[in-house]
Amino acid sequence: MVRQFQKPDVSVDVVLLTLIDGALHVATHVRANAPEKGKTALIGGYVHVDDVNEQNVEDTAYRVLREKAGLRPRYLEQLKTFSGRRRDPTRGFTVAISHVALVPYEELAAERAQVLSFYDVDALPELAFDHKEQVAEAVTRVRNKSSYSTLPCWLLPEKFTLTQLQRTYEQIFGESVSRGTFRTRLGLRVEDVQAGEAADEAGVIIATDEFQGGAQRPARLFRVDQLGLYRRASW
């Protein structure tokens, strides 16, 4: 006789991070249905096992972001699995596969007035379920990775200056650093780099032939080589 076991509910939550007024913020919405109806929560939803287009939980994450926030982030990473009986006492043992997404605020601004609210990750309100724990886990992951990689590039527009990149790093960590120290840590070279060449040792930050004007001399614009990111073993 084969013993039957009850299957837990499986869902996906997304910690969608962006930069607002120089600080990391997380996107949330208000739950319209029970349980935790009316509470502030992360973007999330159940895995649709009957949908043939949903081949894995990453597909689920992209779907819930499209349905509930109207976007597809350029950067999405599986974070951690949260599970147990205390997550949602009304449904017993549940499993939530948490993801972290990075999106420039410019891509979110149009959605803010419709469905999303944004909170500083270091000053969160009460959140539904274990969502506050998920945010803390995501922020730790992003800050740790930013200390040795070009991850913050995903919080910038598709083309950016190195000054904008430095400010993004500073906003993630909440501290300033000199230009020389910043460029040394990332292994950046600027003076002799040509359009199409990498400005960093990892071969990720690529110089374009475009410049951004300003009060001083124009600043070259750079872009991210996505293939270069995935070639890095540390990712």
CATH of domain 151-231: 1.10.10.10
Measured distance CA(146)–CA(19) in Å, rounded: 14
pLDDT of residue 8: 86
Architecture in CATH for domain 9-145: Alpha-Beta Complex (3.90)
H helical segments located in the chain: 57-69, 109-112, 131-146, 162-173, 179-186, 226-231
Nearest to 148 by CA among 198, 189, 185: 185
Task: Name which of 37-51, 69-83, 175-189 the model is least confident about.
Answer: 175-189
- Asked if 193 and 183 count as a contact pair (C-beta separation under 8 A), the reply is no
Q: For the segment 97-109, what is each residue's pLDDT rounded down to a tens digit?
A: 999 999 999 888 7
Of residues 37 and 109, more confidently modeled:
37
Contacts of 83 (CB under 8 A, 6+ apart): 8, 93, 94, 95, 96
- CA dihedral (149, 123, 66, 104) in degrees, to 10, reads -50
Domain ranges (residues) in the chain = 9-145, 151-231
Looking at residues 203-225, what average pLDDT do you find?
Answer: 86
Q: For the segment 55-87, what is each residue's pLDDT rounded down to a tens digit?
A: 999 999 999 999 988 889 989 999 999 999 988
Within 10 A of 147 (CB to CB), how many other CB atoms are there?
Answer: 12
Residue 52 gets the label, from left (phi > 0), alpha (psi -120 to 50) or beta, of: alpha
pLDDT of residue 16: 97
Q: For the segment 131-166, what is each residue's pLDDT rounded down to a tens digit?
A: 999 999 999 999 999 988 888 999 998 899 999 999
Looking at residues 116-126, what average pLDDT do you find?
Answer: 95
